[in-house]
Amino acid sequence: LSHAVMPRLRAALTNAWIPEEDWKGLLAPTHASGGTGPSAEEGGGARDGEPHAPGGRAHGGGRALEVVCQWKDALTPQLWGEVLHALVLPKLARAIDRWQPRRASAPEPSARAADTPSAASAPVAASVPVDSGGGEGTRPVAAEDWLLPWLRALGENGSPLHAPTRHKVGSAYGVGAAAAPPSDDSPAAQDEHARLAGRLAQWGPPVLSAPEWQALLARHVLAPLGDHLDLMPIDPADQHVGPVLCAAQWLPAAGPGALAAVLADHLFPRWATALRQWLSRPGAAEAVDLEEVAMWYEGWRSLLPAPLLREAAVRAALDEG
């Protein structure tokens, strides 16, 4: 294996594999060793003599991940360690470094130009050429397509990539990535936050380790939600609830316990104070419409989804009110 397979696998992963472009199947198998099919650059997917799956098995489009995973069991631990630590992890680390979420639609230079052995290491956007019929245009490649499958497959072996991934994923899919601020209570704004929360949730454990995931949520979800809740006026006469609606959209990513803690720290103390002031102002006994107060109270309850209402911190705050 060290003489028959490793040189080809090493050359393919070093020279042909660009993580952000792997959706193209750049490491598709040849039909036979030494075959003369078209090269990757010519659209055939595989270069002459590149490694193929053991026994000639198909591997679903020839993605580098599938080639590497199928060879894992055939390689000795020493050879597998070389593939992992000398070829796969360094190249994925460089791709993560190039990934600039806020410039996802920026023009070339391409990822291929940046990850060839002689290329400069300046960061570029993860945008690759797309053949749309006219031969023009670029398509941003979502990290879910090229990075997420690797992290899922690598498990704990991918832990050196978790910290840099956490920073990029938080910037790409956290609260700050939304065009609409959490104070916007329009349906379109809430849909945007729900979409981002769904994409972010894919990166939770076991993809990222639990400590890295908690650090991501704290910085990119919980802290900005808390900041916007702090700025939200509590006014029974003219109440805007955008930040509360926004926080509820992040339930799939943050979970009910973490969101309940944010509400308990940043919303409910001021909410309870506003309610007490409403009920205790001079002449309140005669002037306050208790039915109106009850409607206001129930209106707040209706904003929160059932998983949050079941949290002890939320129940205690509402009961206090």
Tens of pLDDT, residues 200-242: 999 999 999 999 999 999 999 999 999 999 999 998 878 889 9
- Interaxial angle between packed helices 242-249 and 290-303, expressed in degrees from 0 to 180 and rounded to the nearest 10: 30
Q: At 125, is the secondary structure helix, strand, or coil?
A: coil
The pLDDT score that the predictor gives to residue 39 is: 32
pLDDT computed for residue 156 by the predictor = 94
pLDDT at 47: 37
Closest CA to 288 of 299, 297, 279, 300: 279
Instruction: Supply the pLDDT for residue 55.
Output: 40
- Cβ atoms of 232 and 240 within 8 Å: the answer is yes
Pick the closest to residue 5 from 36, 48, 51 (CA basis): 51
Query: Count of CB atoms within 10 A of residue 113's CB?
Result: 13
Residue 244 burial class via C-beta count within 10 angstroms: exposed 0-12, middle 13-18, buried 19 and up = buried
Question: What pLDDT shows up at residue 185?
Answer: 86
**Average pLDDT across the chain, whole number:** 78
Spans of the chain, pLDDT less than 70: 1-2, 23-62, 102-140, 281-288, 321
Residue corresponding to tokens 């205690």 = 316
